[in-house]
Chain A
Amino acid sequence: MNARLIIALIWLALPLHAQGFAGLGQGGEGFALPEPGRVFDFPADHGAHPDYRIEWWYVTAALTGEDGRDYGVQWTLFRSALTPTGPQVWMGHFGLTTPDAHFTGERFARGDIGQAGVEPTPFDAWIDDWLLTGPTFDTLQLTAQTSEAGYDLALLAQGPLVFHGDAGFSIKSQSGQASYYYSQPFYEVTGTLDLPEGPMKVTGKAWLDREWSSQPLEGDQEGWDWFSLHFDDGFRLMAFALRGGADFHYASWIAPDGTLTPYYGDALGLEPLATSVVEGRDVPTRWRLTLPAQQVDVTVEAVNPGSWQSTLFPYWEGPVRVTGSHAATGYLEMTGYE
Protein backbone atom coordinates (compact mmCIF):
# COMPACT_ATOMS: atom_id res chain seq x y z
CA MET A 1 0.00 0.00 0.00
CA ASN A 2 2.59 2.45 -1.16
CA ALA A 3 -0.13 5.01 -1.53
CA ARG A 4 0.59 6.07 1.96
CA LEU A 5 4.33 5.96 1.43
CA ILE A 6 4.28 8.64 -1.15
CA ILE A 7 1.97 10.85 0.83
CA ALA A 8 4.25 10.58 3.76
CA LEU A 9 7.33 11.31 1.73
CA ILE A 10 5.71 14.22 0.06
CA TRP A 11 4.57 15.39 3.42
CA LEU A 12 8.22 15.50 4.31
CA ALA A 13 7.96 18.42 1.97
CA LEU A 14 10.71 17.31 -0.30
CA PRO A 15 10.76 19.13 -3.62
CA LEU A 16 8.51 16.30 -4.74
CA HIS A 17 5.49 18.40 -4.15
CA ALA A 18 6.52 20.77 -6.88
CA GLN A 19 7.18 17.85 -9.21
CA GLY A 20 3.86 16.19 -8.55
CA PHE A 21 3.54 12.74 -7.18
CA ALA A 22 6.47 11.48 -9.18
CA GLY A 23 10.18 11.18 -8.73
CA LEU A 24 10.69 9.48 -5.46
CA GLY A 25 14.41 9.15 -6.04
CA GLN A 26 15.25 10.03 -2.47
CA GLY A 27 17.68 7.53 -1.01
CA GLY A 28 17.25 5.75 2.27
CA GLU A 29 20.88 6.34 3.22
CA GLY A 30 21.48 5.84 6.86
CA PHE A 31 18.02 4.37 7.45
CA ALA A 32 17.30 0.69 7.98
CA LEU A 33 15.97 -1.05 4.82
CA PRO A 34 13.32 -3.77 4.64
CA GLU A 35 14.68 -7.25 3.83
CA PRO A 36 12.84 -10.49 3.00
CA GLY A 37 12.36 -13.07 5.72
CA ARG A 38 11.68 -10.79 8.67
CA VAL A 39 10.23 -12.54 11.68
CA PHE A 40 7.55 -10.21 12.99
CA ASP A 41 7.40 -9.79 16.74
CA PHE A 42 4.02 -8.87 18.23
CA PRO A 43 2.86 -6.82 19.94
CA ALA A 44 6.18 -4.93 19.67
CA ASP A 45 5.88 -4.54 15.89
CA HIS A 46 2.52 -2.77 16.33
CA GLY A 47 4.62 0.04 17.79
CA ALA A 48 6.91 2.48 15.99
CA HIS A 49 10.11 1.59 14.12
CA PRO A 50 12.12 4.82 14.33
CA ASP A 51 15.08 3.32 12.39
CA TYR A 52 12.92 3.45 9.29
CA ARG A 53 12.13 6.63 7.53
CA ILE A 54 8.37 6.37 7.29
CA GLU A 55 5.61 4.36 8.88
CA TRP A 56 1.84 4.45 9.33
CA TRP A 57 -1.20 3.14 11.10
CA TYR A 58 -4.02 3.40 8.59
CA VAL A 59 -7.67 2.63 9.28
CA THR A 60 -10.46 2.72 6.72
CA ALA A 61 -14.03 1.72 7.55
CA ALA A 62 -16.87 1.11 5.09
CA LEU A 63 -20.03 1.67 7.10
CA THR A 64 -23.81 1.58 6.81
CA GLY A 65 -25.96 3.95 8.82
CA GLU A 66 -29.29 3.36 10.58
CA ASP A 67 -30.79 5.21 7.63
CA GLY A 68 -29.46 2.52 5.26
CA ARG A 69 -27.04 4.85 3.52
CA ASP A 70 -23.32 4.24 2.97
CA TYR A 71 -20.70 6.08 5.06
CA GLY A 72 -16.93 5.94 5.23
CA VAL A 73 -14.32 6.75 7.83
CA GLN A 74 -10.56 7.19 7.51
CA TRP A 75 -8.06 7.64 10.35
CA THR A 76 -4.34 7.71 9.67
CA LEU A 77 -1.26 8.34 11.75
CA PHE A 78 1.99 8.84 9.86
CA ARG A 79 5.43 8.84 11.44
CA SER A 80 8.49 10.16 9.68
CA ALA A 81 12.14 10.49 10.67
CA LEU A 82 13.68 13.60 9.14
CA THR A 83 17.19 12.17 9.37
CA PRO A 84 18.40 8.75 10.62
CA THR A 85 19.33 10.27 13.98
CA GLY A 86 17.19 13.36 13.83
CA PRO A 87 13.76 14.40 14.95
CA GLN A 88 10.65 12.29 14.44
CA VAL A 89 7.59 14.05 13.19
CA TRP A 90 3.97 12.90 13.08
CA MET A 91 0.98 13.65 10.90
CA GLY A 92 -2.65 12.63 11.37
CA HIS A 93 -5.36 12.54 8.70
CA PHE A 94 -9.07 12.48 9.31
CA GLY A 95 -11.69 11.61 6.71
CA LEU A 96 -15.45 11.17 7.04
CA THR A 97 -17.57 10.58 3.96
CA THR A 98 -21.35 10.59 3.54
CA PRO A 99 -23.12 10.14 0.17
CA ASP A 100 -23.30 13.92 -0.16
CA ALA A 101 -20.51 15.35 1.98
CA HIS A 102 -16.88 14.81 2.82
CA PHE A 103 -15.05 16.10 5.90
CA THR A 104 -11.28 16.43 6.14
CA GLY A 105 -8.92 17.03 9.02
CA GLU A 106 -5.19 17.15 9.47
CA ARG A 107 -2.84 17.39 12.45
CA PHE A 108 0.92 17.64 12.85
CA ALA A 109 3.20 17.07 15.83
CA ARG A 110 6.84 16.84 16.74
CA GLY A 111 8.06 13.61 18.33
CA ASP A 112 9.59 13.18 21.77
CA ILE A 113 7.20 15.43 23.65
CA GLY A 114 4.19 13.12 23.83
CA GLN A 115 1.88 15.06 21.56
CA ALA A 116 1.74 12.08 19.18
CA GLY A 117 3.04 8.52 19.37
CA VAL A 118 2.29 4.80 19.41
CA GLU A 119 2.58 2.37 22.35
CA PRO A 120 2.23 -1.37 21.52
CA THR A 121 0.95 -2.65 24.90
CA PRO A 122 -1.70 -1.77 25.66
CA PHE A 123 -2.12 -0.51 22.14
CA ASP A 124 -2.31 3.26 21.98
CA ALA A 125 -1.81 5.42 18.89
CA TRP A 126 -2.60 9.12 19.09
CA ILE A 127 -2.04 12.59 17.77
CA ASP A 128 -3.62 15.31 19.90
CA ASP A 129 -7.04 13.98 20.85
CA TRP A 130 -7.37 11.68 17.85
CA LEU A 131 -7.04 8.18 19.30
CA LEU A 132 -6.79 4.54 18.21
CA THR A 133 -6.59 2.69 21.48
CA GLY A 134 -7.48 -0.60 23.16
CA PRO A 135 -6.26 -3.40 25.40
CA THR A 136 -5.01 -5.37 22.36
CA PHE A 137 -4.71 -4.84 18.63
CA ASP A 138 -7.92 -6.89 18.23
CA THR A 139 -10.15 -4.68 20.34
CA LEU A 140 -9.79 -1.01 19.46
CA GLN A 141 -11.65 2.23 19.97
CA LEU A 142 -11.28 4.85 17.24
CA THR A 143 -12.14 8.50 17.96
CA ALA A 144 -11.42 11.76 16.22
CA GLN A 145 -13.22 14.97 15.39
CA THR A 146 -12.80 18.23 13.58
CA SER A 147 -14.76 21.41 14.10
CA GLU A 148 -17.35 20.06 11.62
CA ALA A 149 -17.70 16.33 12.25
CA GLY A 150 -16.36 13.41 14.24
CA TYR A 151 -16.64 9.69 14.93
CA ASP A 152 -16.40 7.25 17.79
CA LEU A 153 -16.16 3.61 16.64
CA ALA A 154 -15.49 0.23 18.30
CA LEU A 155 -13.38 -2.19 16.18
CA LEU A 156 -13.48 -5.92 16.99
CA ALA A 157 -11.21 -8.25 14.96
CA GLN A 158 -12.94 -11.43 13.61
CA GLY A 159 -9.82 -12.95 12.01
CA PRO A 160 -6.02 -13.00 12.09
CA LEU A 161 -3.43 -10.51 10.79
CA VAL A 162 -2.49 -11.04 7.14
CA PHE A 163 0.95 -10.42 5.61
CA HIS A 164 1.20 -9.05 2.07
CA GLY A 165 3.71 -9.98 -0.61
CA ASP A 166 6.34 -12.40 0.62
CA ALA A 167 5.19 -12.91 4.22
CA GLY A 168 5.01 -9.19 4.89
CA PHE A 169 7.86 -8.15 2.58
CA SER A 170 5.97 -6.13 -0.02
CA ILE A 171 7.72 -5.30 -3.29
CA LYS A 172 6.75 -1.99 -4.86
CA SER A 173 8.56 -1.84 -8.19
CA GLN A 174 10.25 -3.87 -10.88
CA SER A 175 13.63 -2.97 -9.43
CA GLY A 176 12.80 -4.23 -5.98
CA GLN A 177 11.93 -1.28 -3.71
CA ALA A 178 9.93 -2.70 -0.85
CA SER A 179 8.27 -2.17 2.51
CA TYR A 180 7.09 -4.22 5.45
CA TYR A 181 3.33 -4.48 5.11
CA TYR A 182 0.69 -6.33 7.12
CA SER A 183 -3.00 -5.72 7.73
CA GLN A 184 -5.89 -6.55 9.99
CA PRO A 185 -8.77 -6.66 7.46
CA PHE A 186 -11.34 -8.42 9.65
CA TYR A 187 -12.69 -5.72 11.99
CA GLU A 188 -16.40 -5.56 12.65
CA VAL A 189 -17.40 -1.98 13.49
CA THR A 190 -20.15 -0.40 15.57
CA GLY A 191 -20.32 3.18 16.65
CA THR A 192 -21.54 6.70 16.03
CA LEU A 193 -20.76 9.37 13.49
CA ASP A 194 -21.11 12.93 14.69
CA LEU A 195 -22.47 14.78 11.66
CA PRO A 196 -23.55 18.43 11.33
CA GLU A 197 -27.18 17.29 11.10
CA GLY A 198 -26.86 15.11 14.24
CA PRO A 199 -25.47 11.76 15.42
CA MET A 200 -25.78 8.69 13.16
CA LYS A 201 -25.37 5.12 14.46
CA VAL A 202 -23.36 2.96 12.06
CA THR A 203 -22.14 -0.61 11.60
CA GLY A 204 -19.72 -2.04 9.05
CA LYS A 205 -16.25 -3.35 8.37
CA ALA A 206 -12.85 -1.80 8.93
CA TRP A 207 -9.37 -2.46 7.61
CA LEU A 208 -6.16 -1.54 9.40
CA ASP A 209 -2.88 -1.31 7.47
CA ARG A 210 0.56 -1.28 9.02
CA GLU A 211 3.48 -0.42 6.78
CA TRP A 212 6.98 0.94 7.21
CA SER A 213 9.94 1.46 4.95
CA SER A 214 12.73 3.83 4.05
CA GLN A 215 12.89 4.00 0.25
CA PRO A 216 9.94 2.48 -1.43
CA LEU A 217 9.30 3.79 -4.94
CA GLU A 218 10.87 4.20 -8.35
CA GLY A 219 11.55 7.71 -9.53
CA ASP A 220 9.17 7.52 -12.48
CA GLN A 221 6.16 6.24 -10.55
CA GLU A 222 3.72 9.10 -10.45
CA GLY A 223 0.73 7.92 -8.45
CA TRP A 224 -1.37 4.95 -7.52
CA ASP A 225 -4.84 3.45 -7.18
CA TRP A 226 -5.40 1.34 -4.11
CA PHE A 227 -8.45 -0.82 -3.27
CA SER A 228 -9.46 -2.65 -0.08
CA LEU A 229 -12.67 -4.66 -0.52
CA HIS A 230 -14.79 -6.67 1.94
CA PHE A 231 -16.81 -9.22 -0.08
CA ASP A 232 -20.17 -10.32 1.21
CA ASP A 233 -18.99 -13.98 1.21
CA GLY A 234 -16.25 -13.16 3.78
CA PHE A 235 -13.31 -12.94 1.36
CA ARG A 236 -11.14 -9.78 1.29
CA LEU A 237 -9.13 -8.22 -1.54
CA MET A 238 -6.33 -5.67 -1.42
CA ALA A 239 -5.19 -4.48 -4.84
CA PHE A 240 -3.05 -1.66 -6.09
CA ALA A 241 -1.63 -0.27 -9.30
CA LEU A 242 1.37 2.05 -9.39
CA ARG A 243 1.14 4.25 -12.46
CA GLY A 244 3.98 5.64 -14.51
CA GLY A 245 7.10 4.09 -15.97
CA ALA A 246 6.32 0.40 -16.07
CA ASP A 247 2.93 0.09 -14.32
CA PHE A 248 3.19 -2.20 -11.32
CA HIS A 249 0.16 -4.28 -10.22
CA TYR A 250 -0.31 -6.34 -7.09
CA ALA A 251 -3.25 -8.02 -5.33
CA SER A 252 -3.72 -9.97 -2.07
CA TRP A 253 -6.66 -12.42 -2.10
CA ILE A 254 -7.59 -13.18 1.51
CA ALA A 255 -9.76 -16.09 2.54
CA PRO A 256 -12.11 -15.75 5.58
CA ASP A 257 -9.60 -17.78 7.62
CA GLY A 258 -6.82 -15.32 6.78
CA THR A 259 -5.04 -17.41 4.11
CA LEU A 260 -3.46 -14.93 1.68
CA THR A 261 -2.65 -15.51 -1.98
CA PRO A 262 -0.50 -12.84 -3.68
CA TYR A 263 -0.94 -11.97 -7.38
CA TYR A 264 1.49 -9.89 -9.43
CA GLY A 265 1.35 -8.10 -12.75
CA ASP A 266 -1.33 -8.98 -15.32
CA ALA A 267 -3.15 -11.24 -12.88
CA LEU A 268 -4.92 -8.05 -11.71
CA GLY A 269 -6.92 -6.02 -14.23
CA LEU A 270 -7.82 -2.39 -13.47
CA GLU A 271 -9.69 -0.22 -15.94
CA PRO A 272 -11.23 3.22 -15.29
CA LEU A 273 -14.84 3.33 -16.57
CA ALA A 274 -15.84 6.87 -15.70
CA THR A 275 -14.22 9.97 -14.27
CA SER A 276 -15.52 12.83 -12.17
CA VAL A 277 -14.21 16.34 -12.01
CA VAL A 278 -13.02 16.83 -8.44
CA GLU A 279 -11.26 20.02 -7.39
CA GLY A 280 -10.51 20.75 -11.04
CA ARG A 281 -9.00 17.35 -11.77
CA ASP A 282 -10.32 14.32 -13.65
CA VAL A 283 -10.41 11.47 -11.16
CA PRO A 284 -11.67 7.94 -12.08
CA THR A 285 -14.56 7.23 -9.73
CA ARG A 286 -15.88 4.06 -11.43
CA TRP A 287 -13.58 1.14 -12.13
CA ARG A 288 -13.66 -2.35 -13.57
CA LEU A 289 -11.55 -4.67 -11.42
CA THR A 290 -10.77 -8.22 -12.56
CA LEU A 291 -8.86 -11.03 -10.88
CA PRO A 292 -9.55 -13.98 -13.22
CA ALA A 293 -7.68 -16.43 -11.01
CA GLN A 294 -10.49 -15.96 -8.43
CA GLN A 295 -13.28 -15.39 -10.98
CA VAL A 296 -13.55 -11.74 -9.85
CA ASP A 297 -14.99 -9.31 -12.39
CA VAL A 298 -16.60 -6.37 -10.62
CA THR A 299 -17.48 -2.71 -10.98
CA VAL A 300 -16.21 -0.47 -8.19
CA GLU A 301 -18.09 2.78 -7.77
CA ALA A 302 -17.43 5.66 -5.36
CA VAL A 303 -20.17 6.30 -2.81
CA ASN A 304 -19.35 10.01 -3.06
CA PRO A 305 -17.19 11.08 -6.03
CA GLY A 306 -16.25 14.21 -4.10
CA SER A 307 -14.27 12.34 -1.43
CA TRP A 308 -11.36 14.71 -1.73
CA GLN A 309 -8.88 14.98 1.12
CA SER A 310 -7.88 18.61 0.88
CA THR A 311 -4.92 18.19 3.17
CA LEU A 312 -1.50 19.79 2.76
CA PHE A 313 -0.86 17.12 0.10
CA PRO A 314 -4.30 16.39 -1.30
CA TYR A 315 -5.61 13.03 -2.61
CA TRP A 316 -8.86 11.15 -3.18
CA GLU A 317 -9.99 8.66 -0.56
CA GLY A 318 -13.47 7.37 0.14
CA PRO A 319 -15.84 4.40 0.50
CA VAL A 320 -16.96 2.36 -2.54
CA ARG A 321 -19.80 -0.01 -3.49
CA VAL A 322 -18.93 -3.12 -5.55
CA THR A 323 -21.28 -4.94 -7.95
CA GLY A 324 -20.77 -7.67 -10.58
CA SER A 325 -19.47 -11.17 -9.98
CA HIS A 326 -19.15 -10.37 -6.27
CA ALA A 327 -20.86 -7.80 -4.04
CA ALA A 328 -18.72 -5.86 -1.59
CA THR A 329 -18.12 -2.69 0.34
CA GLY A 330 -14.67 -1.17 0.60
CA TYR A 331 -12.34 1.78 0.24
CA LEU A 332 -10.52 3.37 -2.66
CA GLU A 333 -7.52 5.70 -2.57
CA MET A 334 -6.11 7.51 -5.59
CA THR A 335 -3.16 9.85 -5.81
CA GLY A 336 -1.21 11.58 -8.53
CA TYR A 337 -4.15 12.88 -10.57
CA GLU A 338 -3.13 16.38 -11.57
Chain B
Amino acid sequence: MRLDILLRISSKIFIPFIVIFAFYVQFHGDYGPGGGFQAGVIFTSAIILYTIIFGSTKALKDFPEWIFHLMIPLGVIIFAGTGFLSIINGFNFLDYDALAHYPKHGQHIGIISIEIGVFVTVIGSMVSIFYAFVNRGKK
Protein backbone atom coordinates (compact mmCIF):
# COMPACT_ATOMS: atom_id res chain seq x y z
CA MET B 1 0.00 0.00 0.00
CA ARG B 2 2.82 2.42 0.80
CA LEU B 3 4.65 1.60 -2.41
CA ASP B 4 2.05 3.17 -4.70
CA ILE B 5 2.48 6.65 -3.19
CA LEU B 6 3.48 8.11 -6.56
CA LEU B 7 0.27 6.82 -8.17
CA ARG B 8 -1.88 8.04 -5.31
CA ILE B 9 -0.43 11.55 -5.25
CA SER B 10 -0.54 11.94 -9.05
CA SER B 11 -4.13 10.69 -9.23
CA LYS B 12 -5.08 13.12 -6.44
CA ILE B 13 -3.73 15.89 -8.68
CA PHE B 14 -5.40 14.54 -11.83
CA ILE B 15 -8.92 13.76 -10.58
CA PRO B 16 -10.02 17.43 -10.05
CA PHE B 17 -8.85 18.31 -13.55
CA ILE B 18 -10.72 15.35 -15.05
CA VAL B 19 -13.89 16.46 -13.26
CA ILE B 20 -13.46 20.08 -14.39
CA PHE B 21 -12.87 18.90 -17.98
CA ALA B 22 -16.08 16.84 -17.76
CA PHE B 23 -18.05 19.93 -16.71
CA TYR B 24 -16.35 21.96 -19.47
CA VAL B 25 -17.42 19.39 -22.08
CA GLN B 26 -20.90 19.37 -20.54
CA PHE B 27 -21.60 23.11 -20.50
CA HIS B 28 -19.55 24.05 -23.57
CA GLY B 29 -21.39 21.47 -25.70
CA ASP B 30 -23.40 24.23 -27.44
CA TYR B 31 -20.26 25.91 -28.76
CA GLY B 32 -17.62 23.18 -29.04
CA PRO B 33 -17.57 19.42 -29.39
CA GLY B 34 -19.14 17.38 -26.66
CA GLY B 35 -22.33 17.06 -24.72
CA GLY B 36 -23.97 15.15 -21.93
CA PHE B 37 -22.90 11.68 -23.04
CA GLN B 38 -19.20 12.49 -23.46
CA ALA B 39 -19.11 14.53 -20.24
CA GLY B 40 -20.79 11.70 -18.35
CA VAL B 41 -18.20 9.19 -19.52
CA ILE B 42 -15.30 11.53 -18.64
CA PHE B 43 -16.79 12.07 -15.17
CA THR B 44 -17.18 8.29 -14.79
CA SER B 45 -13.51 7.80 -15.66
CA ALA B 46 -12.60 10.06 -12.69
CA ILE B 47 -14.61 7.83 -10.33
CA ILE B 48 -13.13 4.67 -11.89
CA LEU B 49 -9.60 6.07 -11.41
CA TYR B 50 -10.44 6.83 -7.77
CA THR B 51 -11.74 3.27 -7.27
CA ILE B 52 -8.66 1.71 -8.89
CA ILE B 53 -6.15 3.77 -6.89
CA PHE B 54 -7.82 3.93 -3.46
CA GLY B 55 -9.55 0.53 -3.46
CA SER B 56 -13.19 -0.44 -3.78
CA THR B 57 -13.94 -0.36 -0.03
CA LYS B 58 -13.01 3.31 0.30
CA ALA B 59 -14.69 4.24 -2.99
CA LEU B 60 -17.94 2.51 -2.04
CA LYS B 61 -17.86 4.38 1.29
CA ASP B 62 -17.15 7.79 -0.28
CA PHE B 63 -19.48 7.42 -3.28
CA PRO B 64 -22.22 5.02 -2.12
CA GLU B 65 -23.82 2.80 -4.75
CA TRP B 66 -27.40 3.94 -4.08
CA ILE B 67 -26.59 7.47 -5.35
CA PHE B 68 -25.70 6.10 -8.79
CA HIS B 69 -28.68 3.73 -8.81
CA LEU B 70 -30.86 6.77 -8.11
CA MET B 71 -29.18 8.79 -10.89
CA ILE B 72 -30.17 6.32 -13.66
CA PRO B 73 -33.93 7.07 -13.59
CA LEU B 74 -33.37 10.67 -12.40
CA GLY B 75 -31.73 11.65 -15.72
CA VAL B 76 -34.60 10.15 -17.74
CA ILE B 77 -37.05 12.07 -15.53
CA ILE B 78 -35.15 15.37 -16.11
CA PHE B 79 -35.13 14.76 -19.88
CA ALA B 80 -38.78 13.72 -20.16
CA GLY B 81 -39.80 16.40 -17.63
CA THR B 82 -38.37 19.08 -19.93
CA GLY B 83 -40.58 17.67 -22.68
CA PHE B 84 -43.68 17.68 -20.49
CA LEU B 85 -42.92 21.25 -19.38
CA SER B 86 -43.26 22.28 -23.04
CA ILE B 87 -46.63 20.49 -23.23
CA ILE B 88 -47.84 22.30 -20.08
CA ASN B 89 -46.87 25.63 -21.69
CA GLY B 90 -48.96 24.79 -24.74
CA PHE B 91 -46.28 23.68 -27.20
CA ASN B 92 -45.29 20.31 -28.67
CA PHE B 93 -43.38 17.67 -26.68
CA LEU B 94 -39.67 18.75 -26.39
CA ASP B 95 -40.33 22.07 -28.20
CA TYR B 96 -37.95 24.28 -26.23
CA ASP B 97 -39.39 27.54 -27.60
CA ALA B 98 -41.89 27.16 -24.79
CA LEU B 99 -39.33 27.56 -22.02
CA ALA B 100 -38.62 31.31 -22.35
CA HIS B 101 -40.23 34.38 -23.87
CA TYR B 102 -37.62 34.59 -26.61
CA PRO B 103 -37.41 31.31 -28.62
CA LYS B 104 -33.59 31.23 -28.83
CA HIS B 105 -33.29 31.55 -25.03
CA GLY B 106 -35.83 28.78 -24.71
CA GLN B 107 -33.73 26.60 -27.02
CA HIS B 108 -30.63 27.24 -24.89
CA ILE B 109 -32.42 26.43 -21.63
CA GLY B 110 -33.97 23.32 -23.15
CA ILE B 111 -30.69 22.00 -24.59
CA ILE B 112 -28.78 22.59 -21.32
CA SER B 113 -31.59 20.92 -19.38
CA ILE B 114 -31.76 17.76 -21.49
CA GLU B 115 -27.95 17.54 -21.64
CA ILE B 116 -27.97 17.48 -17.83
CA GLY B 117 -30.50 14.66 -18.03
CA VAL B 118 -28.22 12.68 -20.37
CA PHE B 119 -25.18 13.45 -18.16
CA VAL B 120 -26.91 12.18 -15.00
CA THR B 121 -28.20 8.97 -16.60
CA VAL B 122 -24.84 8.14 -18.22
CA ILE B 123 -22.87 8.64 -14.99
CA GLY B 124 -25.44 6.60 -13.06
CA SER B 125 -25.44 3.65 -15.44
CA MET B 126 -21.67 3.57 -16.14
CA VAL B 127 -20.66 3.72 -12.47
CA SER B 128 -23.42 1.27 -11.47
CA ILE B 129 -22.19 -1.28 -14.04
CA PHE B 130 -18.58 -0.80 -12.86
CA TYR B 131 -19.59 -1.17 -9.21
CA ALA B 132 -21.63 -4.28 -10.06
CA PHE B 133 -18.47 -5.93 -11.44
CA VAL B 134 -16.36 -4.71 -8.49
CA ASN B 135 -18.87 -6.02 -5.93
CA ARG B 136 -19.00 -9.41 -7.62
CA GLY B 137 -15.36 -9.99 -6.73
CA LYS B 138 -16.05 -9.54 -3.03
CA LYS B 139 -16.98 -12.93 -1.67
**Binding partners A and B:** no
